[in-house]
Chains A and B, each alone.
Chain A
Amino acid sequence: MTLVRQYLRSLLNARKLLLSTFLLCFALMIYTPFLIIVFRSIGRGWFGRLWLPPEYTLDWYQWAIEVTDIVGITKNTLIIAALAVIMATLIGIPTGWAFGRRRIPGKELLMSMILLPRMIPPIAYALGVAQIFYRLQLIDTHFGVALAHVAVCAPYAILVLSATFEGLDERVLEAASVCGAGTLRSFFHVVLPLIFPGILSSMIFTFTTSYNEFTLTLMTYGKDTTTLPVRTYLAIGEGYWEVTSAMSILLIIPSLLVLFLIQRQVAPEKLVGGFKGV
């Protein structure tokens, strides 16, 4: 009996071993490119043949900051992202309200039309956007680039906000009015606290979307509106792999910060559904 049990247990262990091997391989596949960039950005004389760089330096970061004007470019990126967030939120609130709280005939069809810019290949979409923008002279303006980003940001905002508003229970609002709260007070004491996490997560989503957007920026940017992803891409062409790597790392930092904020401040389950029920 004990022999059989031992054999079974070893089988179980073998399965565990297999599982952890797979997980490790998967993690390596995902994280290796990232590790290479990290080492590339802080190593000197590392050509990928050695396991670790022979020498460490922060020069490439200095180069990235000084030579490529990363401060100005970050400013561009943030201005564009902020404009895109504002526009997407202004579009998303009323649209999300209508989708989440009103009966609209053909709601599913409308929703899929709103999501369409996210479905078609960005480059095809960007081509059309660029042609219109040249005619309207919106190329190389912060507003123009942000407007192009709205096409992909707004669907996110609408999706998240309509779920948030849908989760807002009509009965809770009625309870507030029976308790004596007029429109204004029930908005500030009840509605706003309930929808705030939804609005915040919508803004975070649209911010990261705009911040990381590449294709649409590539077709609409100019020398005054270069963003971080585009500049990083251009740096590859200039041939400085180490500087490019350093820029990528700098590019990642704000996204990591946002991710950290999401984890800390907003519970993930509140991100999409809002407060659904009690």
Chain B
Amino acid sequence: MSDPMIELRGVTKRYGDVLANDNVTLKIQRGELMTLLGPSGCGKTTALRCITGHNVPDEGEVWIEGRNVTSVPTHKRELGMVFQNFALFPHMTVFDNVEFPLMIRRMDKRERRERVMEALRLIRMEQYEKHYPREVSGGQQQRVGLARALVYRPKVLLLDEPLSNLDAKLREEMRFEIRDLIDRLGITAVYVTHDQAEALALSDRVAVMSAGHIEQVGTPDEIYDYPQSRFVADFIGLSDFVEAAVISLDSAGEMVTVQAKGLEILISGRRNMSPGQSVLLFVRPNDVELLPASSEAGTNVFLGEVEKMTYLGDRNDYRIVLGDGLRLRVQTDGKVRFNECERVKVYLPPALCRVILE
């Protein structure tokens, strides 16, 4: 692998007693879109501000393009940034806003105009050049913010919750627009969000953060399918968790039988586990299958009762009680329908039952 574009090396940042970043180490490759994902207060914005230089880390280093920039002021880092509240200059027109970075770089006036108009065309706002930010809609303001960040062709684009001030429908459109722009320009991007759907849809890789440290870094499907901690599994998508203990393994170590609340569950795992070890079993509610109570018994088929059923349009959401009080949340498509208090059989596909070793 070539040199990373951005590298955080053991970055630690405190605000008074609060440890906002605790020894954060992260490599972001050239041309990839890395998302920092986590609940509010997890330190993702702090990490981003260490990259921009608005925060100086208490310990650790920040490297951009093979250069230690830890003590380089923001305005010399050659970055582009998009803000949650757009942060356009309210006293400047759309044109002047986009021109600002070029003006600061003392670029020739004619070239400036060409570059700005090209950037405005890219975001389809060329007819708004003379408008002031407050005269255009939120989505348009954010596109202007994007144009301002990209106009001087920085190598790194930073996006701090750029869509969370927009309404839901616009948010989805803008999501694709941003991804599209980044692909076209081949730029390295760091995207901060608390919205897991946004992170999964946009990113090349996701770094899930919690309480100031990075929980897991991986591609969206790695994060979704193979979370390495309860926090990640819980934060990304819906999960049922079951405390379990390993009973036996087959010779290849592929098929593992675990016991949880009196049930023996077979899972096909590739992890190194040993008998007697306690593990956290988790399964996604939409991976569980519901069968009529009359269907045949088999491995991983357990008898239960529907405690609660919620109709969600395209899906049905069930709460099922298995023997010994084990509660599972199950989501099926709208066609499968069981009533409350009805007895059902629950099938947990071995390949989709996963474990977290804690």
Binding site for B on A (CB under 8 A): 169, 171-172, 174-182, 185-186, 189-190, 193-194, 275, 277-278
Smallest CB separation, B64 vs chain A (Å):
13
- Cα A177 to Cα B103 in complex, Å, equals 13
Nearest A residue to B49, CB-CB: A174
Count of A-B contacts judged by CB separation below 8 Å: 76
- Contact string against A for B residues 76-94, beta-carbon threshold 8 Å, 1 for contact and 0 otherwise: 1111110111111111000
Smallest CB separation, B157 vs chain A (Å):
10
Assess the B87–A175 pair: CB atoms within 8 A. yes
Known: A180-B78, A182-B75, A278-B133. A174 touches B100 (CB 8 A): no
Assess the A177–B141 pair: CB atoms within 8 A. no
Assess the A278–B88 pair: CB atoms within 8 A. yes
Assess the A278–B81 pair: CB atoms within 8 A. no
Known: A169-B85, A194-B91, A275-B90. A180 touches B105 (CB 8 A): yes
Q: Is B134 an interface residue (CB 8 A)?
A: yes
The 7 closest A-B pairs by CB, nearest first: A171-B87, A177-B74, A175-B87, A179-B101, A178-B81, A180-B104, A193-B91
Contacting residues, chain A, for B124 (C-beta < 8 A): none
- Cα A194 to Cα B133 in complex, Å, equals 14
Q: Is B13 an interface residue (CB 8 A)?
A: no
Contacting residues, chain B, for A174 (C-beta < 8 A): 52, 54, 74, 81, 83, 87
- Cα A180 to Cα B148 in complex, Å, equals 12
Binding site for A on B (CB under 8 A): 52-54, 73-81, 83-91, 100-101, 103-105, 133-134, 141, 148-149, 152, 158
Assess the A175–B89 pair: CB atoms within 8 A. yes
- Cα A175 to Cα B152 in complex, Å, equals 14
Q: A169-B87, A179-B101, A181-B75 are in contact. List 16 more A-B contacts (CB 8 A).
A: A174-B54, A175-B87, A175-B88, A177-B54, A178-B79, A178-B80, A179-B152, A180-B101, A180-B104, A180-B152, A185-B104, A186-B75, A189-B104, A194-B89, A194-B91, A278-B85
Nearest B residue to A178, CB-CB: B81
- Cα A178 to Cα B84 in complex, Å, equals 14
Nearest B residue to A173, CB-CB: B87
Known: A171-B83, A174-B54, A278-B141. A182 touches B90 (CB 8 A): no
| 18 residue pairs bridging A and B, Cβ less than 8 Å apart | A172-B88, A174-B52, A174-B87, A175-B81, A176-B89, A177-B53, A177-B74, A179-B100, A180-B152, A181-B75, A181-B104, A182-B75, A189-B104, A190-B89, A194-B90, A278-B86, A278-B88, A278-B141
Smallest CB separation, B85 vs chain A (Å):
6
- Cα A278 to Cα B93 in complex, Å, equals 12
Smallest CB separation, A194 vs chain B (Å):
6
- Cα A179 to Cα B141 in complex, Å, equals 17
Contacting residues, chain B, for A175 (C-beta < 8 A): 81, 83, 87-89, 148
Assess the A275–B91 pair: CB atoms within 8 A. yes
Contacting residues, chain A, for B91 (C-beta < 8 A): 193-194, 275
Contacting residues, chain B, for A185 (C-beta < 8 A): 104
Contacting residues, chain B, for A172 (C-beta < 8 A): 87-90
Smallest CB separation, B13 vs chain A (Å):
16
- Cα A193 to Cα B91 in complex, Å, equals 7
Smallest CB separation, A177 vs chain B (Å):
4
Q: Which of A172, A194, A275 has the most CB of B within 10 A?
A: A172
Nearest B residue to A275, CB-CB: B90
Smallest CB separation, A76 vs chain B (Å):
38
Contacting residues, chain A, for B101 (C-beta < 8 A): 179-180
- Cα A182 to Cα B73 in complex, Å, equals 8
Nearest A residue to B53, CB-CB: A177
- Cα A193 to Cα B80 in complex, Å, equals 23
